[in-house]
Every structure is written in C-alpha cells, then in structure tokens.
A and B are shown apart, each in its own frame.
Chain A
Amino acid sequence: MEQKENEKSMDSDSETMLKKVYEKSIDPASQTILLKAKQEGVETAWDRYEKQLPQCSFGQLGVCCRNCNMGPCRIDPFGEGAEKGICGATADIIVARNLLRTIAAGAAAHSDHARDAVLAFKKMSEGAAGSYAIKDEAKLLSLASEYGIPTEGKNREKVASELADALLLEFGKQTGSLLCTMRAPEPRLKLWTELGIVPRGIDREIVECMHRTHMGVDNNATHILLQGLRTGLSDGWGGSMIATDVQDILFGTPQPRMSTVNLGVLSRDKVNVIVHGHEPILSEMIVEAAEDSELLKLAQEKGAAGINVAGICCTGNETLMRHGTPIAGTFLQQELAVITGAVEAMVVDVQCVMPSLGELSGCYHTKFISTSPKADFPNTVRMEFHEEKAYETAKEIIRVAVENFPFRNPEKVNIPREKQECMVGFSAEAILNALGGSPDPLIEAIKSGAVWGVGAVVGCNNVKIKHNYGHVNLVKELIKNNVLVVTTGCNAIACAEAGLLVPEASELAGEGLKAVCKALGIPPVLHMGSCVDISRILVLSSVLANRLGMDISDLPVAGAAPEWMSEKAVSIGAYVVSSGVFTVLGTVPPVLGSQAVTALLTRDLNNVVGASFAVEPDPFKAAALMLEHIDGKRKSLGLNSDR
C-alpha cells in the first residue's frame, strides 16, 4: 500500500517535471535533455531565469541611468516619485540614451567581428596566414571594382591586399560615408542623406554614441535616436556587410546544399566537437582539421569511429552554409548539448556564449575551450587562436578533443533521436541563380500574388518565450499565407529543426508559394546565413527595389525577431527599420518607460524612414501584423491586396 502511494507520488512528480519541460521548449530533443538536466540536478538558463523573477521594473522600462556617478538614478514610472535624474534627465532622455548605448554595443559586436575578418584577409593576402586562401575570386574582383581598385596586371593576392586596405579604411574613415551604402536604392540613400544619417566611419558612429550618452552631451530623445539609426546603418550597411563579403571571398559564397540539424547530429561513436560563437575564421579551420588523417588515426586509437564537428549559433551557421557541417542547436541549446554527455569539446569564439558553460562542462567530461583573444570564460581551457598559426591551433584543439574521448561516461550519455534534414546555403547570389540569374521571376510571382510578399525572420532565443515557439509558429503562419520567408541566425536553426528548410515543407505553404517552391525545388523558408548575413537580405531587397525602380519601403516585405535577446538584435532592428522594413519584435525592448521614445519607434518613424517597429509576443498575432503590412504595401503598388 505504502509502496503504491510512493509510486503514485513519484508519478505525479515526474509528471510535473515533464509538464515543466514541455513549457520550456517546443523541440522534443531539447525536452529530452531538459528532463535529463532535471534528473541530474544540473542548472540551465531556464532555472536561472526563474531565480531572476520578477525582473527589475526599472530595467524593463529602461528608466535607470548609471552613466555618471551622481547616480544611479531612476524615474518613478507612476509619477509619485522622482520625475528626473539628478542632472535633470527625464525618462525620455534616459530611455533614449540607454537605447543608443545598446545599439552601439550591438553594432560594435558585428563590426569588430568584421574587422577581424578583414585583418585575417589582409594577413592572407600578405602570405602571413598560410591556412587561408581566396575561395571566391569572382567576388574578390567584383568587390575590388566596387571599391575602385584597379585589378589589371595584378595578381589576386595584390588585389586582395589593396582591397583589405580599402576595407580597413571604412572602420576609421574620417570623411565621406561608408561605401556599402551605395548599394542601397537611390531613393533610400537620398532619404538618409536628407536626414543626415548616412553612416560615416564604422568605428566613429560607435564612438559618437558613447560620447553623446556621456553625462551632459546629447539630451534630446529624437536627436539621440537619429544617431541610433545611423549607428545601426553603420552595422548593416557597414560592419555586417563587410564581414559577409570578406568571409565569402575567404571561405566561398554559400550555395544550396543539404545538411542536418538538432542535438541528434551528435555522434554515439565519434569524437564530438562543437563550434559555438560567431566567427568562421576558426571554425573553418576546425572543420578542416577534423579531416586530418593524423588526427583521424589518433581518434581510431582512442576507440572512436571518427571526428564529428557540429555547430551552435552563428559560427555553426557559417560552416553549415559553406560546408553543410551539421548544427547541434540554437542559442538556448548550447547548455543542452553539453548535458547530452556526448561532447568531447565545446570550442567557442565570441558572442552569445554563456559563461555558465564553464561550470556545466565540469559536470561532464566536456572540455570547454575558449579561443578568442577577446573572450575568456570561467573554467575554460585557453587555446588562443591567431591567424598566423590557424591550422596548427585548430589541430591542437581537435587533438585535445580526441584525447578526451576515452573519458566519455556512457552512463551519462543521452543523445536525442531528433535529427532533421535541411536545405541551406541561400546567399543572395544563390537565390538569384535559383531564379535563373534575375530577380524577375520572383517579382512576377509577387505581382501575380503567388508569392504574397517576403518575410525576413531572424534573431535569437530568449527564455522569456518558449524555446522556438515564436520562431516556428510565426514562420509557419507566414508561409501558410504565401509569404516567402528568408531567415538567418537562430531563427534559421529553429526553422531547420522544425523541418521547414526542406523542399517538402512547401506542403505547409499556401497554394501559390507551394507551386513556386516546387517549380524551383526550394524550401519555402530560405536560410541566408548567420546574423551578420542579414546584410545579404539588405542586398537582396535592394536588388528587388532597384529592379522595380522604387525604395525598399515600397516593397511588400516585413521583418520579425520573434525571440530576440542580444544587443546585436537591437542594432539589427535599427538598420532594418532605417532601411525601410516594418519589423515586429517578439520581446519588449526596454523603452516603455518613455512615451515619447515608444511613440517614435512604433509610430513616428514611419514618417521619417517609412517603417517602424511593433511589439507582439504572440507569433500568430505577429504574423497577422506582418501580413496586414504586406497587404497595405501591395495595395499601394496597385497589386491584388485581398487575401
């Protein structure tokens, strides 16, 4: 009797546990590992989120200022307490300044990533980074001509060297504006010029943000936010675009290919090496070193059937796009990957790497290897990576992983079954190729209404939204309504895990989109790359707008970041909206403490840059907002707007 009762209570315990796990993620693989985490008593981001609740209201509203040491100051949102900071800054000023600093941090992250890519490119051209080579000569030449570099009679290394110098100048430019902005449609560039928000030097805009938000400098919310738009543009049409271009030259412009995603890509009998972070500079070498015969032999000696490299976050997207290297998961799956107990090495570079991985790796046999000279973490094995010895370092890293294989504890291993096929590699070039070399077929499909519009869905994971719930449902809703979706970053991985990146997913699309996808043999959701590759989306929309002789803001296009969390996402939001694309955010940015800033972002920006933000956590309602926007644009273009 007693035993029965015990069983009963255990059942209800595990039932609650299961229920809790289902509330956290829609992805079965993640649910399996979250349950394992609970059983093993290991902490994840979701547990730490619960401990943070309720979160600070001042922080959520953006009304706390720490910019000088008279403070910290905060404004009482309900008007009973302080209405101004000590310096006299109102909620409007404080919210705007905080937002500007966030944009600056996001732009800095993307652009500093770009700088490293260019520096590696420069070293390669001078023969100082022998592990790298020029993989896309056509792109090198086309970029050289864009930057006004004569190519005749020069070898390609010389061209690359001169191009690298020209690109580096963009960072410290003191006069004129960023060259990539010339790729924007003419009316857009004209608008930016009139508003005075054409970005100048990449670094300069970020520095100016920090200057303006220093105590006692820029204290007009609108004026502050215009600098936010300019800084965002210096990312999208500067840093990010340069990163994409240079990485394409160095590692090849992505072409459609098949791969697999989700935690199930981890191998039972091979050495599992995860590359996590954002830059391809290292992960490209890791992928290569994993095929090194000497290391494969060592793996065999250690009892492994081979070496399996898998990605997480955007460094994963970079190798996925160019080599079809499988991806183990999105941002919120980084800890889960370690908890499978099957990861020999978690190799990280920069951005979106949780410091919790250090302690977590200690619970398993995983070696947590940090490689960037910029990014150290608690409890890591430091293996600093420099381009000069790129391949050697990559080999050393793989060697550490291989030698760690015998320490894998089979009793602690649980690799989920889920392993989903996906079609990836849709660079702007690849999409135009698929269309037969011209954007016309897509334009015709949009005109006929077969393709109702284009949705750009991007961004992170955020524990505030059930893992992948926002991403997958929003995208499904869009394709159901014949909106072709282009995706990058963790949205792309989430969609891949949900099986939306295979041509067969067109069955989930509306009739019009389904027919187009079937004719071209493409999925209804096109993976365009990492988060810096949102620049590819800008280029593609410019191609469409230019072909039609209009502005990006005239196109039936809408954007969304359903589960965003990082500062980079704020910078992205700033440049996507400044480029004329209406954007729906799935989590609330910390701006609601100022009515003026909120009104500007969600309404008044329309009159300034022809697009604005909306906030909608419910993915179905968010999709409805995007569709409504696309309907409106179709109507203005004189196209059928009656769904």
Chain B
Amino acid sequence: MKDLIIRPERCLGCRSCEIACAVAHSKSKSLFSALGEQPAPKKRIYVDCSPNLEISIPITCRHCEDAPCVSVCPTKALSQDEVTSIVSHNPDRCVDCWTCSMVCPRFLPLYRLIRVIGCWTSSMAYNRGVISRQTDAGVKCDLCQGRDIPACVEACPTHALVFYELEEIPGTKLPETTSELTG
C-alpha cells in the first residue's frame, strides 16, 4: 500500500503542505476561491519545529483503522475511537518510549533520523501534539481521496513528503519485530 512518507531532513518549514492540504479539503479546491469559504477549510498536516533537532517536521496522522501505534503503546496512552477511528493521545499516561513511532511508516524516517542524531528528548511531544490537535478538529488525513497524489506531497518543493509503496523507499520498510528495531 502507498503511504505518505515524511522525510524531516528535507523540510525547510515553508508550510506549503499546510495550505495545499487546506485547499484540497475546501469546497472549491482552488486557492483563490477557498479564501472566502465558510467554514474555512481545515488542514490535516502541521509543520512543527523541533528546537532540539533544529529541524522542522511536517506531521500528519491518518488515524488508520486498527492503528498499530495504538496496539503497541505499552501504557495505553494512545487509544482509538471504535466508531470514528480517531486516535487520541493522553499525555498523562505517555512515558515517551517512542514505540508508537517505530511502527508508524510515516514516522519511521523521523525515528531513524533521531536515532542517528542521538537526540531522544524532542520527538513525541510534537508527534502527539499533532494527533491531539487533529482529534480536536475532528479531521484526519485521508490521503486526499480522489487525487492521484496527496496535495501536500505535490506542494512540497523539496520532496520532504513523498507518496510511495513503502518498499520502494530504502529504509522505510517496517521492521518485522520490535527487537529488529532496537537491536
């Protein structure tokens, strides 16, 4: 299956993905016409910055059915609504173990980057921040149904967002087991 892969090392923080996302989820689908729409179109992707890593990261959650992040969460900080499949994050239960990011194809490259840099303190705060924001807004990334390529991917001038079969990108194949990752 194709998914949207985030390559944080390429993100320049221009926020083009955010606007493209909002326009793709507007009534008119056109930037100039979407401006006046009520209610204003909502974006499903957020560019956050990680001061510790000194990078910006576009973050977006698909709230997949049977979300793997939810099933691997050892403290049940992540939970999923059975009806809407919206994933929620409870910061009080989160111990910042990062297991969720290891199983999410979108965040795997970020996880690997962080592992390379050796900075463990930044991360999940942003990841889960976005998840909660999307939860509040009641919107989730739908991979732009009806389009060949998600609007954010198309809009990204540096290809920090790509849309590929997971196997096509080196380093994005999900590990079979957790030990494979940590080992």
A residues near B (Cβ < 8 Å) are 54, 56-58, 60-61, 74, 76-81, 588, 592-593, 595
Contacts and interface: CB of A to CB of B under 8 A. Distances in A.
Given A56-B14, A57-B20, A595-B36, 7 more contacts: A54-B154, A56-B16, A61-B31, A74-B15, A76-B18, A78-B43, A80-B40
B8 interface: no
Contacts of A593: 35
B87 interface: no
Nearest to A593: B35
A78 B22 contact: yes
A81 B15 contact: yes
A61 B23 CA distance: 13
A60 B22 contact: no
Nearest to A51: B157
28 contacts: A54-B20, A56-B16, A56-B157, A57-B19, A57-B23, A57-B155, A58-B19, A60-B31, A60-B32, A61-B31, A76-B15, A77-B35, A78-B19, A78-B22, A78-B34, A78-B41, A78-B42, A79-B40, A80-B22, A80-B40, A80-B42, A80-B43, A81-B18, A588-B32, A592-B32, A592-B35, A595-B35, A595-B36
Contacts of B16: 54, 56-58
B155 A54 contact: yes
Contacts of A592: 32, 35
A148 B42 CA distance: 64
Contacts of A76: 15, 18-19
A64 B41 CA distance: 20
A529 to B, nearest CB: 33
Instruction: Kindly state the interface size class of chain B when it binds its partner.
Output: 20 to 34
A60 B32 CA distance: 9
Interface of B: 14-16, 18-20, 22-23, 31-32, 34-36, 40-43, 154-155, 157
B42 to A, nearest CB: 7
A591 to B, nearest CB: 11
A78 B157 contact: no
A58 B47 CA distance: 15
Contacts of B35: 61, 77-78, 592-593, 595
Nearest to B41: A78
Contacts of A595: 35-36
A77 B42 contact: no
Contacts of A58: 14-16, 19
Contacts of A60: 31-32
B43 A77 contact: no
Contacts of B19: 57-58, 76-78
Contacts of B32: 60, 588, 592
A67 B15 CA distance: 19
Nearest to B157: A56
Contacts of B155: 54, 57
Contacts of A78: 19, 22, 34-35, 40-43
A34 B42 CA distance: 41
Contacts of A77: 19, 35
Contacts of A56: 14, 16, 157
A57 B24 CA distance: 13
Contacts of A54: 16, 20, 154-155
Nearest first, the 3 A-B pairs at minimum CB distance are A57-B19, A78-B40, A78-B22
Nearest to B23: A57
A614 to B, nearest CB: 14
